Amino acid sequence: MWYVSTRGMAPRVNFEGALFSGYAPDGGLFMPEELPQLDRETLRRWSTLSYPSLVQELCALFIGPELIPRDDLDDLIHRAFSRFRHREVVPLSRLRNGLNVLELWHGVTYAFKDLSLCCTAQFLQYFLEKREKHVTVVVGTSGDTGSAAIESVQGAKNVDIIVLLPKGHCTKIQELQMTTVLKENVHVFGVEGNSDELDEPIKAVFADVAFVKRHNLMSLNSINWSRVLVQTAHHFFAYFRCVPSLDTHPLPPVEVVVPTGAAGNLAAGCIAQKMGLPIRLVAAVTCNDIIHRTVQQGDFSLSETVKPTLASAMDIQVPYNMERIFWLLSDSDSQGTRDLMEEFERTRSVRLPEGLQRKLSAAVTSESVPDEAITQTMGRCWEENQYLLCPHSAVAVSYHYQQVDRQASSAPRCCLAPASAAKFPEAVLAAGLSPETPLEILALEKKKTRCTPMQKSNDWTLILRDTIEDIGRQWRITS
């Protein structure tokens, strides 16, 4: 399996090459050159699998046995999920009024990113040990990516991780999950800016191809193909858990509601669709609605500011994985994708070509959900089910309740729940409910913290480069 850049100007790479890259050298994102097409028999066979077994099957399609033999791959994925708190890894809660909630948050940091990052970290360490190499991972986070990335590689001897978090834009718990990890290979910076602003120095560093190569830099944001790959499993698993039967022809559809910020989970859903999974995708966003405007009107443009919402991890203006979706839906048109994205980077505002807009709105519908609807949804779900939603999950469930109240007939629907309500006590209180905080989260309050400030007046790119060079020097001394 080969991977190509969405912008078409970079050499193709194998899975290992895509795994160790952030952006492709031409500024694009890596995608499989061709997607496997799944027949009814394969879907029927997969429908009875556990979540980890499904991840194994999907990964085997995209990672050649010459890179990771199948027995090793199965072992890595088994190891990745060994610390999840629920025996099913990803359980489905069936609630009143046809509400199905797929809980993606039973990993160590109580967020869906544990699922893809724990696998990605296993793949990473497999290749590093084999090649006797060291990498420095650079991550920008809006909340959950940082803690899940740190958790997946803390203490690893071949990996250092640098995390940039937006000071004051994460919840207290999210911040503590990052700043209380004191392992030597973990370097956390508190940036005086929002999550879009802190992506700028990261992109600037990755644009220096010689520097990236010299220091073996990589990213674990959802620009990394490995994360998107594992996230396709959410959609297959949601389908198999909610489809009434696989015996009808054609296969019945299932609607999957994806609360989304950077569009990684949405891109994974579009890939699953293209592979033959009969799902209908709904992108549910906050009032930071660039994805909603793009789907509805073809208006891919920044708003003047990012508005802070209760679903803070989705407060994103630049959903970089939309580039993967544009490429996919334009039949791998890398020239068109490059023109579109370069214009967007220049002007911060583009209108999608009519044909692409038509394909996008056929593949995805969307909804923008204000804070008031988030708290109402959290309250209603508790009242009807004694079930606490996190604010991000409530963005998805709000769409479900809208459809129920309109008495709109539809296919079975599954709402993806990206995080536990335990991580967002402020939002739970805002909904007039009582937070339930696990002991391991309460214990964070008493731990020592370490976080280096990056102030507005600082040169963030320079600080980042200096830190990377220091790590490189240390690695050369100790090895």
Q: Rounded to 5 degrees, what angle do the CA atoms 337, 341, 345 make?
A: 170
Q: Name beta bridge partners: 454.
A: 191
Which ranges constitute the DSSP H helices of 99-194?
A: 113-131, 144-153, 172-179
For 317, phi and psi rounded to 5 degrees?
A: -95, -30
Q: Are the C-beta atoms of residues 151 and 114 closer than 8 Å to each other?
A: yes
Q: Identity (one letter) of the amino acid at 283? A: A
Three-class secondary structure assignment of 297-321: HCEEECCCCCCCCCCHHHCCCCCCC
The two counts, helices (H) then strands (E), for the chain are 20, 15
State how far the Cα of 309 lies from the Cα of 194, in Å rounded to an integer: 13
Question: Helix, strand, coil proportions of the chain in percent (round to 5)?
Answer: 50, 15, 35
Q: Name beta bridge partners: 384.
A: none
Q: Identity (one letter) of the amino acid at 36? A: P
Q: Identity (one letter) of the amino acid at 266? A: L
- How does DSSP assign 23-61, residue by residue? S-TTS--EEESSPPPPPHHHHHHHTT--HHHHHHHHHHH
Q: Choosing from 113, 203, 359, 423, which is the catalytic residue?
A: 113
SS3 361: helix
Q: For residues 281, 15, 151 and 160, what is the CA-based torsion angle, rounded to 10 degrees?
A: -140
Q: Is 113 a catalytic residue?
A: yes
| Active-site annotation, residues | 113
